[in-house]
Amino acid sequence: MAGVTDQAYRLIAKEMGCSFVYTEMISDKALVYGNERTESMLRISDTERPIAVQLFGSDPKIMARAAKITQELASPEIIDINMGCPTLKIVRNGEGAALMRNVPLARDIVEAVVSAVNAPVTVKMRMGWSRELINAVELAEAVEAAGAALVTIHGRTREQFYSGTADWDIIKDVKEAVSVPVIGNGDIRSPQDAKRMLVETGCDGVMIGRAALGNPWLIRDTIVFLSTGTELPPPTYEERASFALRHLDMLIQLIGEKAAVPKMRKHAAWYVRGIPGAASARIRINASRTRDEMARALEVAFLDPLC
C-alpha cells in the first residue's frame, strides 16, 4: 500500500507472521531515471523476505528495464505489476487500473517483464474498470498466457475506488478460469472474513489491505484462526500503546527522527482508531514534532485518556 507498507510496516507485518509482503508501488520511470528516493524504496532486509516489489507503468520497454534494475538492486522473490491503482494521476498516464481497459498492452507489459527477469512475475488487478467493463477473467487469462505466475484480484472496479463492497464472485470466476494461483482481496476485516473468502471463492491465498492499518494484530489473528480455529483476544491498550511506540522507534531507526515523526502521524492515528478520546488523541498526535512528544501523545491516548 502506497504511503503505508514501507520497511518498518513490512517488518511489523512479518513479525505478525505474514507469509508474504509487498513494497509500496514503485514507478518504473523513476527507477529507470535513477531517482534516489525511489531507489531507496528498494531497500529490503532479509527479514522481509519473501517479498514482492510492485512496479507500475505503461510502457513495456520501460517496465522491463525497471524490472531488471529491481532485480539487480533488490532481488525480490517476486516482481508484481500494478493494474489496480485507481487514482487519477496514475490512470491518466495509462498506468494502474487503466491497463484493465487495454488488455493487449497489459499482456505486452507482462511478456516484456517476464523476459527481462528470472523472478516470477505476478499481476494485481481489480474486477474491471467500471460496472460496464468487468473483465478480470479476460485480463487474468491474458496475463497468464503472457507468463504471469500468479494473479491477485481486488473485487472492486476502478470506478468504485475503495467504496462499496468488494465482489468476491469475480475472485471465484478468475480462480475457475486460470491455472496459476489466485489471491483474493477486498474487505477482509476479520479472521472469519479471510476464512470465508477462501471457502467461498476457492482462492489460494488472501491479501489484507486497509483493515490492517493500525491493526497489524489482524494478520496474527488471521493466521492463528486459519491454522487452529482459535480466536485470539484483541490486544490490550497497553499492548497497542507499546507496539505503536515500537513502530515509531523502528521508523526512527530506519529514516531518522525528523522524517519518522511526520510519517508516523497517520499510523498513530490508525492505532488510536476506535478508542475513547480518539479525536483529541489525533490532535495531540498531529501536533507532535519529536519522538518524545509522539510517545507522550500515544501514552496519553491509551493509558491516560482523561488527561
Ligand X SMILES: Cc1cc2nc3c(=O)[nH]c(=O)nc-3n(C[C@H](O)[C@H](O)[C@H](O)COP(=O)(O)O)c2cc1C
Q: What amino acid positions are annotated as catalytic residues?
A: 85
Phi/psi region, residue 81 (left: phi>0; alpha: psi -120 to 50; beta: rest), is beta
Strand positions, DSSP E, 192-299 = 205-207
Q: Which of 29, 154, 158, 267 binds ligand X (CB under 6 A)?
A: 154
Q: Which of 57, 128, 186, 216 binds ligand X (CB under 6 A)?
A: 186
Q: Which of 48, 59, 187, 221 binds ligand X (CB under 6 A)?
A: 187
Using CB under 6 A as the binding rule, the residues of this chain from 160 to 179 that contact ligand X are: 162, 166
Residue 4 binding ligand X, by CB under 6 A: yes
Collapsed DSSP state (helix, strand, coil) of residue 137: helix
Residue 219 and residue 207: Cα distance in Å, rounded?
10
Nearer to ligand X, 157 or 300 (CB): 157
What is the bridge-based pairing of β-strands 205-207 and 78-83?
unpaired
Q: Which of 25, 91, 297, 300 binds ligand X (CB under 6 A)?
A: 25
**Nearest CA-CA partner of 207 in 152, 264, 149:** 152
Residue 211 binding ligand X, by CB under 6 A: yes
Q: Which stretch binds ligand X (CB under 6 A): 7-15, 57-65, 82-90, 282-290?
A: 82-90
Largest CA distance in the chain: 60
Q: Which stretch binds ligand X (CB under 6 A): 140-148, 186-194, 231-239, 270-278?
A: 186-194
Q: Which of 188, 294, 297, 300 binds ligand X (CB under 6 A)?
A: 188
**Nearest CA-CA partner of 82 in 43, 40, 124, 52:** 124
Q: Which residues pair with 22 in a beta bridge?
A: 52
Between the CA of residue 267 and those of 148, 204, 207, 244, 251, what are the distances in Å? 33, 30, 19, 8, 11
Nearer to ligand X, 180 or 300 (CB): 180
Q: At what angle do helices 257-271 and 278-287 cross, to 10 degrees?
A: 170
Q: How far is the CB of 26 from ligand X (least distance, A)?
A: 9
Q: Which stretch binds ligand X (CB under 6 A): 36-44, 102-110, 204-212, 263-271?
A: 204-212
Residue 54 binding ligand X, by CB under 6 A: yes
Q: How far is the CB of 238 from ligand X (least distance, A)?
A: 27
Q: Are 209 and 232 in contact (CB under 8 A)?
A: no
Q: Which stretch binds ligand X (CB under 6 A): 111-119, 209-217, 271-279, 289-297?
A: 209-217
Residue 82 binding ligand X, by CB under 6 A: yes
Element (H, E) at 303: helix 291-303
Q: Which positions lie near ligand X, rule CB under 6 A?
A: 1-4, 24-25, 54, 82, 84-85, 124, 154, 162, 166, 185-188, 208-211
